[in-house]
Amino acid sequence: MNDYCKVAKMLKDSKKTFVLTGAGISTDSGIPDFRSADSGYWTKMDPMEALSVEVLYDRPEQFYKIGYEMLVDMQNKKPNTGHLILAELEDAGLISGVITQNIDNLHTYAGSKNVLEVHGNTRKSFCRKCGRVYDFKYLGDYVERGIIPPICEHCGGVVRPDVVMFGDPMPVEFERALGEVESSDLLIVIGSSLTVSPVNYLPTLSERLVIINMTPTPFDQRADVVLNEGISEALEKIKECLND
């Protein structure tokens, strides 16, 4: 039995499986991994600065010139084969849900229903002062008029993207993710280097572990199966085994 069919068997045998995804699942959709040195997004500014709370709050003009434009560009992307297969696996009852580090909304657009976005998303924005929630386009309306930062129409506070920036605390969604993985008997990590804390704590909680990533991760030795290859290709092969 090859490794793809091993993963397929693990999926069939598992009572509860969750998937954890990182930037690697979205590269086939044209969204580069921000850690890649040749990423087109980051020729002007380091990502850890462009998407930091320091720049967002203290230098908003700089954020809306670079970081915000990257977030807007994500909204023009479409789900790829990897996203679509995960939605199919959820519909088939083979996975219980997806925990994602990504903010690109592509799991939701692909049809996944139980998606825990532990780093937020680019569908919403909110007021720092009163907590009022707006859609993401609310920011664009202000940016187009040259009003930076955007202002809450309710209380006059500053409205920001509903994205976890560098320097932000983790949202309550992460607490739910901890509970879901802890009660699962299989975690499949897809497209994540597992170097970002505290998300890289999740693989320590699952009874069984599968890692699908282009490059090695610090958790490979702990995993039952490791597939170092393209995400879409690997998931297509696993799907073939499930259909046999």
176 and 211 within one domain: yes
**Is residue 88 within a helix (H) or strand (E), and if so which, with residue range?**
helix 81-91
pLDDT tens digits, one per residue of 36-80: 545 555 555 577 777 899 999 999 999 998 889 889 988 889 999
**Is residue 17 within a helix (H) or strand (E), and if so which, with residue range?**
strand 17-21
129 by Cβ neighbours in 10 Å (0-12 / 13-18 / 19+) ranks as middle
47 and 16 within one domain: no
> Which domain, by its residues, includes 130?
32-76+126-163
- pLDDT number for residue 51: 86
Q: How many whole angstroms separate alpha carbon 113 and alpha carbon 9? A: 23
148 and 134 within one domain: yes
CA angle (104 as vertex; 103, 105 as ends), nearest 5: 100
Give the SS3 label for residue 182: helix
CA 131 to chain centre: 23
Q: How many whole angstroms separate alpha carbon 61 and alpha carbon 5? A: 51
Catalytic-role residue among 83, 107, 119, 154: 119
Local structure of residue 201 (DSSP, 8 states): G
- pLDDT number for residue 223: 98
6 and 39 within one domain: no
216 and 183 within one domain: yes
228 and 155 within one domain: no
- pLDDT number for residue 33: 76
pLDDT < 50 positions in the chain: 37
- pLDDT number for residue 207: 94
For residue 137, the tally of other CB atoms under 10 A from its CB is 11
Tokens describing residue 128: 């720092």
- pLDDT number for residue 32: 81
Residue 170's alpha-carbon distances to 51, 55, 60, 104, 157, in angstroms, are: 15, 18, 21, 17, 22
- pLDDT number for residue 94: 98
pLDDT tens digits, one per residue of 9-22: 999 999 999 999 99
Identify whether 119 is a catalytic site residue. yes
